[in-house]
Amino acid sequence: MALISLPRPLVVCAAAACFALSACGTAEESPLGTVLGGVASGFGQVGGGSDAAPSDPRQVLDRATIEAIGQPLLTAELTALPGASLMTRVGRNRGVDSWRDSAGLGLALSDAGLLRATRGFGFDLMSSDASGTAQALAARRPAEVNRTMVYLDGELREAREIHRCRLTVEGQAGIEIVGRNHATTQISEVCSRPDGDSYTNRYWVEASGTIRRSEQWISDEVGSIRLDRLTD
Amino acid sequence: MVRTRLVVCLGISCFAHGVLAPAASADTLSQMPTLNYYGLPGLVDMPTANVMPDADLSLTGSYVDGTLRGTIAFQVMPRLTATFRYAAIPEFTPDSTPINQDYYLDRSFDLHWQILDEDSWWPSLAVGIRDIAGTGVYGGEYIVATRHFGADDRLAVTAGLGFGRLGERDGFANPFGLGNRPPRDFGLGGTVNFDQFFRGDAAVFGGVEYQASDRLRLQLEYSTDIYTAEAADGVIEIESPINLGATYDMGRYGTIGAHYLYGTTFGLSYSLSTNPRRGAFNGTLDAAPEPVRPRPVSAEPYATSWVSQPDGAPILRDNVERLFEEDGGLELVSLSLDPQRATIRVRNIRYGQEAMALGRVLRVLSVTMPNSVEVFEVIFIVNGADASRVRVNRSDVEALEHDVNGASGLMARADVEPAGRVGDPDTITIRGTTPDRLTWGIGPYVETALFDPDAPFRGDLGLEAQARFEFGRGFVAEGALRVPLIGNLSDARVVDGVEPGGPFPVRSESALYYQESEARLDRLTLSHYGRLGDDLYTRLTFGYMERMFAGASAEVLWQRVDSRLGLGVELNHVWRRDFDGGFGLQDYSVTSGHVSAYFPIFGDFTGQVDVGRYLAGDYGATLRVDREFANGWRVGAFATFTDVSFDEFGEGSFDKGIELTVPLGWFTGTSSRSEQTTTLRPILRDGGARLSVEGRLHDLIPDYHQPALEETEAMLWR
């Protein structure tokens, strides 16, 4: 059985509640977090020296382990590559959560689970505004919306794109994630880019508005990322 | 030609690239022109009116009948192409004096300017001058038109009017009435051959090019170059004006070509193009940064009782240092706080994009600073000196972390000011645990001399031990020792003695330094960096600054934090060092110095003018123009004119060259402040020689000023 190393959880330094200064510590130190070790990032490696097969944390995790870890967890996999990576939440700011895996790859997701930004993928989504999509997903209604996606160009300057997207409700879908069943509404979103190419995002949204599972597009070079939220 | 990104696979970095990069689509004849035997847009020997994509940088090598040409071409602006060429022609004696070498070596410089774009029915039109300032062996000018036809511009037809070398076959009287072309002056080279341009007989050349498949192109041309001088020396035989060729695009591995030339011979070409705007990644593979920690919303003012906590200062320092260590690119120099304001002095040891370093410091401050601190001030330390003070409101950091306009929004709200304009908060002050910085290393070094008049390439490989210590307030001690192991730099030509009336051999005897030393002290200096006022920065350097000179150097730079305009004064007094690379000095000493102006020209272009006295005691000025890209690439050219006459200067007439700077991160996709600078100088001589000193102020201080931070702001939240 492959072992999993957890990325570090939220760091808390200056005490928010108390009045005294204290040393930095992780918010929710988990005994298991230090026990599990081994596999770095689960993303497949091409041309690298690693002989470790791409791993999928869902194959070595069970519900009891997830409960014992006691931290928010999700799995992320690039649709173009085998393997998946385990991410924990390392920050929360104004309705956007920062997630990170043990290799330092990072995602920013709205608290519902909509992708806002990526870090460390080489061709990152630097920031985005998909508030129209967020509203349609929360209401689980079809819609036509625009989203703004901010990238970098080769000179490392900002490159902005407006994508035109159409959301369609595909129907009810029951999904299972690591031994737990979820009732969701499946919604797909077809977006066209300024150069005429298009891509499709897929969301499995619960009644609470939480995006339990999704497949969301990052950039031309990286492609899409598939996310499974393992915890509530 | 299929154009792809340079692919560098380093372990995991491949994942985003090797597999996921989309299949590159082929470019049409008009999007990426074929590069000819001269490395310029063209057919085989003849030019076309095309241009490369803006900022493209190409290397072309060609071979025909023993003649080798290597060309670097840069698309300086969308319409202007410039090249530097080094050619080796076997057993060639253009000036009728036999030479004792197997090859005649020639350096030349061309300009190609597209006057008109191709329009619905109008062809593109370009003029060009080959060998503007060289010996004139390749001297020729042209006016050329190219028109593309068919779907995807599969067919291109070119016709042009050639002069000089390009006007020799069936030439007719000069159509502009510019009269005869004076004989070529095979003097010293280096002077612009104005009296020749577009003069003398002209001839009509032309050709067609066909895109046979995505990768294969076919060329047919009618050449008006009859290689008069080369044919006379038996270098090449010319029997027909027709040249035929085929080029095949191998994608990221470049383009190869095979040609049948002049009815008598075959030739080969190879070209490779890159572009500063297409690095390994549009971004970096660096680990995700520390998330911002927003403060809890509170109706009450945040508590400030922490200021009296006895162990507060070391706790804050340790927290900052812990997160900096995790980050790996930042070092704490000092931290000062009062209940509302925190000022941090930081050394950026990793991030080539300065705004990225700033963003990461702000993130760490948001996590570590007590809630009552609303104002963050970041002072980046460069060689021990404060570069600027960047003031940001903590609430803006919290509000803009995930904002779609967060990068430009935060830079717009930030104040960048001279570091000394306001005092630091003084309730709590603590130094970092390692405020001084020692770095050292022993490793291989490579030193090259490219394209000197006798050999296209000379180089040494050896071992270098170097150390650098930043300490106290603004002191830097550094040194390097080199032991060459193998190489041929010592074979370089030495000018015997001092020519009467000519400049002292401050550089032309450089070979003696290689010949007469085993191990040598490359540098050993003590410097101090500081400030005289808000916008005045100073440097003092003592010691062995470079291989050939030692002494003292003082510099003052006036540079406002909000402007690219800078003015500097440098004064040096140096002695010539002994050839053996030890501590000894020779009799020759000189006081040199410059007044320098640094200024933006337009767009990416910046200029520099230095006026003053050079190492040989000559007076004059250096002009320099650079194209600077936001990602750290620089491509520039410089020329120096002094009161050393062209005759006294000797071959090349005056000092000039091309300089190319490539940031390491562009190749690897991970952040780094390292960069590689290569200077191509046709010949290094004694007129217009400048002292080489490490750490000139203008190379360091403006990095953390407002223009540079704004230029890199897209990386602020990276």
User: Of B9, B318, B714, which has the smallest distance from its Cβ to A152's Cβ?
Assistant: B714
CB-based contacts of A32-36 (< 8 A; 24+ apart in sequence): A32/A6, A32/A65, A32/A68, A32/A69, A33/A6, A33/A8, A33/A9, A33/A69, A33/A71, A36/A3, A36/A4, A36/A5, A36/A6
Partner B contacted by A12 (CB < 8 A): yes
pLDDT of residue B683 exceeding 90, the answer is: no
User: Of A20, A94, A155, which has the smallest distance from its Cβ to B630's Cβ?
Assistant: A155
pLDDT of residue B96 exceeding 80, the answer is: no
pTM: 0.92
Whole-number Å distance between alpha carbons of B648 and B465: 39
Q: Which residues of B touch A134 (CB under 8 A)?
A: none
Comparing A81 with A155, which gets the higher pLDDT? A155
SS3 string, B274-304, reads ECCCCCCCCCCCCCCCCCCCCCCCCCCCCCC
Identify the weakest region by mean pLDDT among A53-57, B398-402, B447-451: A53-57
- Rounded to the nearest 5 percent, the helix, strand and coil shares of chain A are 10, 45, 45
DSSP H/E element including B13: none
CB-based contact A155 B316, cutoff 8 Å: no
CB–CB of B57/B280 below 8 Å?
no
CB–CB of B608/B596 below 8 Å?
yes
Identify the weakest region by mean pLDDT among A7-16, A97-106, B188-197, B472-481: A7-16
pLDDT of residue B489 exceeding 60, the answer is: yes
Domain A11-229 fold: YmcC-like fold (2.40.360)
Comparing B682 with B157, which gets the higher pLDDT? B157
SS3 string, B344-399, reads EEEEECCCCCHHHHHHHHHHHHHHHCCCCCCEEEEEEEECCEECCEEEEEHHHHHH
CA distance to partner chain B, nearest, from residue A179 (Å): 30
Give the chain B residue nearest A11 (alpha carbons).
Answer: B367
Whole-number Å distance between alpha carbons of B378 and B357: 10
Q: Please, which residues bridge with residue B641 across strands?
A: B621
CB–CB of A134/A114 below 8 Å?
yes
* pLDDT in the model for residue B181: 85
Question: Which residue spans within chain A are E strands per DSSP?
Answer: 11-12, 25-26, 73-78, 85-93, 96-100, 106-110, 115-119, 127-129, 143-152, 158-177, 180-192, 198-205, 211-219, 223-229
* pLDDT in the model for residue B182: 82
Partner B, chain A 90-129, Cβ-Cβ below 8 Å: 90-94, 96, 98, 100, 103-106, 108, 116-117, 119-124, 126-129
DSSP H/E element including A31: helix A31-35
Token pair listed for B439: 């770095």
Q: Please, which residues bridge with residue B163 across strands?
A: B141, B202
For B140-155, what is each residue's pLDDT tens digit? 999 999 999 998 899 9
Domains B11-274 and B437-706 share a fold: yes
CA B528 to chain centre: 27
* pLDDT in the model for residue B194: 81
pLDDT of residue B458 exceeding 90, the answer is: no
User: Which listed CATH number (3.30.565.10, 3.40.50.10490, 3.40.50.300, 2.40.160.40) goes with B11-274?
Assistant: 2.40.160.40
Summary mean pLDDT of chain B: 91
Give the residue-averaged pLDDT of A111-132.
97
Partner B, chain A 30-59, Cβ-Cβ below 8 Å: 41, 43-50
Q: Give me the CATH code for the B437-706 domain, please.
A: 2.40.160
Partner A, chain B 420-439, Cβ-Cβ below 8 Å: none
Whole-number Å distance between alpha carbons of B268 and B150: 28
DSSP H/E element including B515: helix B510-515
Token pair listed for A205: 């949204």
For B580-619, what is each residue's pLDDT tens digit? 999 999 999 999 999 999 999 999 999 999 999 999 999 9
Partner B contacted by A60 (CB < 8 A): no
* pLDDT in the model for residue A47: 36
CB-based contact B13 A122, cutoff 8 Å: yes
Give the residue-averaged pLDDT of B517-546.
96
CB–CB of B341/B375 below 8 Å?
yes
For B30-43, what is each residue's pLDDT tens digit? 999 999 999 999 99
CB-based contact A24 B288, cutoff 8 Å: no
Dihedral sign from CA coordinates of B708, B713, B716, B718: negative
Whole-number Å distance between alpha carbons of A83 and A85: 7
**What is the crossing angle of helices B354-368 and B312-327, to 10°?**
140
Whole-number Å distance between alpha carbons of A153 and B522: 40
Q: Is B257 helix (H, G, I), strand (E, B) or coil?
A: strand
Identify the weakest region by mean pLDDT among A107-121, B222-236, B672-686: B672-686
Partner B, chain A 160-189, Cβ-Cβ below 8 Å: none
Give the residue-averaged pLDDT of B46-53.
97
Partner A contacted by B635 (CB < 8 A): no
Comparing B250 with B135, which gets the higher pLDDT? B250
> What are the C-alpha distances in Å from B618 to residues A31, B328, B495, B593, B653?
74, 47, 19, 11, 14
Q: What's the pLDDT band for B650 if we cut at 50, 70, 90?
A: confident
Above pLDDT 70, what percent of chain B?
93
Q: What's the pLDDT band for B21 if we cut at 50, 70, 90?
A: very low
* pLDDT in the model for residue A4: 54
For A38-82, what is each residue's pLDDT tens digit? 334 556 543 333 444 557 788 888 899 899 888 999 999 999 888
Partner A contacted by B501 (CB < 8 A): no
User: Nearest CA to B508 among B464, B582, B460, B454?
Assistant: B454
* pLDDT in the model for residue B495: 58
Partner B contacted by A225 (CB < 8 A): no
CA distance to partner chain A, nearest, from residue B707 (Å): 14
Partner A contacted by B664 (CB < 8 A): no
Whole-number Å distance between alpha carbons of B94 and B717: 60
- Residue type (1 letter), B586: Q
Q: Please, which residues bridge with residue A128 across strands?
A: A149
pLDDT of residue B327 exceeding 70, the answer is: yes
Q: Is B704 helix (H, G, I), strand (E, B) or coil?
A: helix
Burial class, A84, CB count within 10 angstroms (exposed 0-12 / middle 13-18 / buried 19+): buried
Summary mean pLDDT of chain A: 85
* pLDDT in the model for residue B478: 97
CB-based contact A94 B295, cutoff 8 Å: no
CA distance to partner chain A, nearest, from residue B424 (Å): 21
Q: CB neighbours of B657 closer than 8 A, spacing ≥ 6? A: B637, B638, B679, B680, B681, B682
* pLDDT in the model for residue B19: 34
Q: What's the pLDDT band for A21 if we cut at 50, 70, 90?
A: confident
> What are the C-alpha distances in Å from A103 to residues A39, A86, B207, B441, B613?
10, 10, 56, 28, 54
Instruction: For chains A and B, count residue pairs whose Cβ atoms are closer than 8 Å.
Output: 204
Q: Where are the domains of chain A?
A: 11-229
User: Nearest CA to B217 among B269, B160, B257, B157?
Assistant: B257
Burial class, A207, CB count within 10 angstroms (exposed 0-12 / middle 13-18 / buried 19+): exposed
Q: Is B38 helix (H, G, I), strand (E, B) or coil?
A: coil
CB-based contact A44 B404, cutoff 8 Å: no
SS3 string, B527-560, reads EEEEEEECCEEEEEEEEECCCCEEEEEEEEEEEC
CB-based contact B316 A21, cutoff 8 Å: yes
Neighbouring C-beta atoms of residue A39, cutoff 10 Å: 21
* pLDDT in the model for residue A5: 60
Token pair listed for A15: 């005490």
CB–CB of A153/A159 below 8 Å?
yes
Whole-number Å distance between alpha carbons of A183 and A196: 35
CB-based contact A21 B718, cutoff 8 Å: no
Partner A contacted by B286 (CB < 8 A): yes
Q: CB neighbours of B645 closer than 8 A, spacing ≥ 6? A: none
Give the residue-averaged pLDDT of A179-202.
96
Token pair listed for B57: 């940088």
What ipTM, to 2 d.p.?
0.90
Partner B contacted by A222 (CB < 8 A): yes
